[in-house]
A and B are shown apart, each in its own frame.
Chain A
Amino acid sequence: NAGVMQNPRHLVRRRGQEARLRCSPMKGHSHVYWYRQLPEEGLKFMVYLQKENIIDESGMPKERFSAEFPKEGPSILRIQQVVRGDSAAYFCASSPSIPGLTNEKLFFGSGTQLSVL
């Protein structure tokens, strides 16, 4: 049973380009969460999605950032017109859909390191 798969592992973009980060949840998991780790900071929650729905995007910047989790395929975090301040590690986690879900049921991927030149 493969874990949470994120790709690419490293992504380099120039200012103004678009970045697309992909996350394939664990088999059987229908919930996906994106976190961002800025340099010298801890991971911070960005967005929580279920299949075809955004449930909570309270941690996502209002502009240039969007996320989707289509019926088929991986979840995508999209950053338009990237700026240097977007350089960070972006982690994805997934969980099953179970009653009383608690945080230790989250499984994290290895992250995508985005570098904006």
Chain B
Amino acid sequence: AQKVTQAQTEISVVEKEDVTLDCVYETRDTTYYLFWYKQPPSGELVFLIRRNSFDEQNEISGRYSWNFQKSTSSFNFTITASQVVDSAVYFCALSEAGRQAGTALIFGKGTTLSVSS
């Protein structure tokens, strides 16, 4: 069965600290996609990144970076020099290839990140 585990329920850091959000997934598929979404206090989910299972290159986008390791089935998300505006709930999600978009996203429970000044 497919599953996404975000073991950290809540994380609190002080501004400028680096923080890593963990995501571990389970799937029997050889082709799949991994996602991270951000849910700010306003409530809407905002797409951050998609990763294909066959591309293990790490990605950096500004202060955000993602570490994808198939060997440990992990897709961790690091925020460098955190800011108060990073405070949100972050969701990791998994989707099978070949499934209709929107119908096969499997989300983790989310990690609530609080960044204080």
Seen from chain A, the residues whose Cβ lies within 8 Å of a Cβ on chain B are 3-4, 9, 31, 33, 35, 37, 40-45, 48, 55-56, 58-59, 91, 93, 95, 101-111
Contact = CB atoms under 8 A, between A and B. Distances in A.
A55 B103 CA distance: 10
A106 to B, nearest CB: 5
B4 interface: yes
Contacts of B100: 48, 55-56
> What range describes how many residues of B lie at the interface?
20 to 34
B107 interface: yes
Contacts of B102: 31, 33, 45, 48, 93, 95, 101, 103, 106
B38 to A, nearest CB: 11
B104 interface: yes
- What are the 8 tightest A-B residue pairs by CB atom distance, in nearest-first order? A110-B43, A42-B107, A108-B45, A43-B107, A33-B102, A101-B101, A110-B44, A104-B50
